[in-house]
Chain A
Amino acid sequence: MTPDSASTLQASIDALPRLAPAIFVTGKGGVGKTTMAAGLVCAAVDAGTRAVLVEFGDGASGRRALGQARDRIEHVIIDPRRAVMQAAGPVFGSPLLAKIALGNFAMKPMINSAPALRELAVLELCRQTVVDNPGARVVFDMPATGHGVAWLRVAEQIGKLTRRGPLYDVCARVQNELLKPGRASIAVVTLPERLVLTETLELCQQLDEEVGLPVDRLVVNRVPPVPEAQALTDARRVAAAGGDVGAAAARLVEVLSVRSRMRAEVVEVLEQVALHEHARGLTRLPMAPADPHGPEVAAWLREAGAA
């Protein structure tokens, strides 16, 4: 890495944008979204701010990621399968009217196979959670991307489709009170691999351009530790001498070369990311050999100035 790009990388880390009260944590599957979301709520609570972790599942992954901190954090679980009924009450005027309209023999199977409606209902419940918790940081652990961008666009699209009426009003509320810069931030979690990072940059651009929400944190998770360069030089010399020890040293050379080549690739890719216009708030987190918990991630985030 040249000194110039090194300072660009450093500058982009130093000047991290401010996080809005609502934070959507997104990224592809298995990159550590839940852990990151848990880290963000723990960091807020440690700093004396109220915080809520919102999860769309059975609640098990959020509880696991919070670890010991689970007693101090408010944990809200939104069940997407029940979201339509929950969100529909105000739309139809009353829960009873909602039941008449949606419990209808034609509507029931339709709602079960209409994904956009369910996603809109989930967004409306997200909006309600933010409104119900003024002054608090509300962190949403979003489902894996692919659906992530589509999900955040659903309110805008259904709004355009309906143009008027109570369903349109829901869309407008979600757009104005939740999905506005300053009200919501996006944190994208990714891994230090070329392919994954390339996809992530596409995602950041989509979020910027199609959803209109800023990516205020781009978190590169599991950056592997690399032993000092001298070890590789020494191991090469010992390997060249041959014998049993030489053969063993050759294996060390193998492992260290893979690591240093991986590291070189990570640095190279991060340089490109740092120069990318849609990637702000670049943050690196270390690789942990075992599952890290929220308080541990909160400490890493504070260290990186990203909390």
Chain B
Amino acid sequence: MSRPQTYVCAGGGGVGKTTASAALALTLARRGERVLVVSIDPARRLADALGVKLGGHATAVQMDAGDGALFAMMPDPRDSMQTFINILFENEPEALERMLKNRLYQMLENAVPGMHELVAMTLTWRAVDEHEVSALVIDTAPSRNAVDFISYPDRLAKLLGGRAVTWLSALARSDGEQRPKGRAGKLLDRVLGPAVGDLAGFFGELARVRGRFVELNEGMAELLLGSRSSYLVVAAPTGAARDDAAYLIRRLEKLIGRPAALIVNAAMAPERAWAQTLSGASETTAAMGRAIELLEREAERRARASQKVVESLQRRHANIPLWRLPFVEALSPREVVEQLSTALSSLVPA
């Protein structure tokens, strides 16, 4: 199987990252690619943006995609840990049973960072194969640490392979009776109480399937860290989004390298020549005049705020191409996606 061209979109909350991801996917499909867009954002907006029902399997999206094809997928984070454990322990039914009974596992079921991402990427890997996907767009969680998941499985794999887990699993041996070793072990036993057995059991079972874990991790790395993957940071013209973008760019540079572009959503005011025509026309009533004035005042303030943020982004990240998208006011999210896709078509390099 040949690896798809991959775009990973990251950004803070509320910047329109999912909408931009959907628009990018549509742009690529219109260029003739077979595109899969995957959202690992727990906010689940992708289905809304594309106007379709989505889940853990790739679904074809009916939009005018020219010669290409557009598929979308939105795995449910609530199922992640369960799916993950099922995949990991596919060949170890007894260990799986023990794991499901582990109280620490039951508590962690929804709370392990990076787990949802890893599961989503495993499902993506399968969908890419099944639908002969040539371009992949990944919409990450809206967080400053959205890209940290790339390093998480590796850290966990190292942890599972290290002395630490051997030591911890030893705590649970001798028919489940805990035998803490040394001073640290005794302290641990005193602090954790009965939970020490669950902790040791949890890591002990995970260590058993370490090989499988490493395999999944390599699949994910191939999709996300290969020479055909690029990273896009999405921002909006607000101070918070600007700071989130700066933070994400620093993280990306540390983890992978410089992002391919910085997308600034809602950064261009729509063309307003019509407002001038109306302001000078005798047909314009007083009520219309007041409405136009309200809209113009708002547009001006927005333009000023956005100009300030865009300039500061350009100054701070002079070496990253900046793609400005228009401010789109439309009722249907799908229409917004269409309009942003048109704007992106002249910005995304072939």
Contacts and interface: CB of A to CB of B under 8 A. Distances in A.
A115 B141 CA distance: 17
A91 interface: yes
B126 to A, nearest CB: 25
Nearest to A30: B14
Interface string B287-314: 1101110110010011011000000000
A248 to B, nearest CB: 4
A29 B13 contact: yes
Interface stretch (A9-17, A42-50, A253-261): A253-261
B318 interface: no
Interface string B239-265: 111010000000000000000000000
B193 A162 contact: yes
Contact of B107 (A157, A199, A228, A289): A157
B298 A289 contact: yes
Contacts of B141: 146
Interface stretch (B22-30, B58-66, B221-229, B273-281): B273-281
Given A248-B274, A290-B305, A165 B193 contact: yes
Contacts of B330: 258
Interface string A123-163: 00000000000000000000010110010001001100111
B277 A245 contact: yes
A33 to B, nearest CB: 9
A135 B125 CA distance: 55
A147 B108 CA distance: 12
Interface string A13-50: 00000000000000011110010000000000000000
Contacts of B45: 195
The number of chain B residues touching the other chain, given as a range, is 35 or more
B193 A291 contact: no
A163 B184 contact: no
Nearest to A195: B48
Interface string B160-184: 0011110110000000000000011
Interface string A209-245: 0000000000000000101101111110010010011
| Most-contacted residue by chain B among A168, A233, A244, A291 (CB, 10 A) | A291
B329 interface: yes
A110 B187 contact: no
Interface stretch (B88-96, B109-117, B127-135, B340-348): B109-117
A115 B163 contact: no
A165 B192 contact: yes
B290 A166 contact: no
B184 A107 contact: yes
B144 to A, nearest CB: 8
Contact of B13 (A30, A105, A195, A230): A30
Nearest to B183: A100
Nearest to B295: A255
Interface in A167-218: 167-168, 191, 195, 199
B15 interface: yes
A297 B290 CA distance: 26
B43 A199 contact: yes
The prevalent SS among residues of B at the interface is: helix
Contacts of A115: 108, 111-113
A290 B301 contact: yes
B295 A227 contact: yes
Contacts of B275: 248, 252
Given A115-B111, A256-B291, A107 B278 contact: no
B284 interface: yes
B327 to A, nearest CB: 10
B331 interface: yes
Contacts of B86: none
A159 B144 CA distance: 30
B5 interface: no
| Most-contacted residue by chain A among B159, B236, B301 (CB, 10 A) | B159
A235 B287 CA distance: 9
A150 B110 contact: yes
B243 A116 contact: no
| Most-contacted residue by chain A among B104, B144, B283 (CB, 10 A) | B283
A167 B167 contact: no
A245 B14 contact: no
Nearest to B103: A161
Given A64-B240, A245-B277, A289 B191 contact: no
Q: Which 7 A/B pairs are nearest by Cβ-Cβ distance?
A: A30-B14, A29-B13, A30-B13, A227-B291, A231-B291, A289-B301, A248-B274
Given A30-B15, A113-B156, A252-B292, 13 more contacts: A29-B13, A29-B14, A29-B43, A100-B184, A105-B164, A106-B164, A113-B155, A115-B108, A115-B111, A162-B192, A166-B191, A258-B331, A261-B331
16 contacts: A28-B13, A105-B163, A110-B164, A161-B194, A162-B193, A163-B195, A225-B294, A231-B287, A231-B290, A248-B274, A249-B284, A255-B329, A258-B331, A261-B331, A289-B302, A291-B238
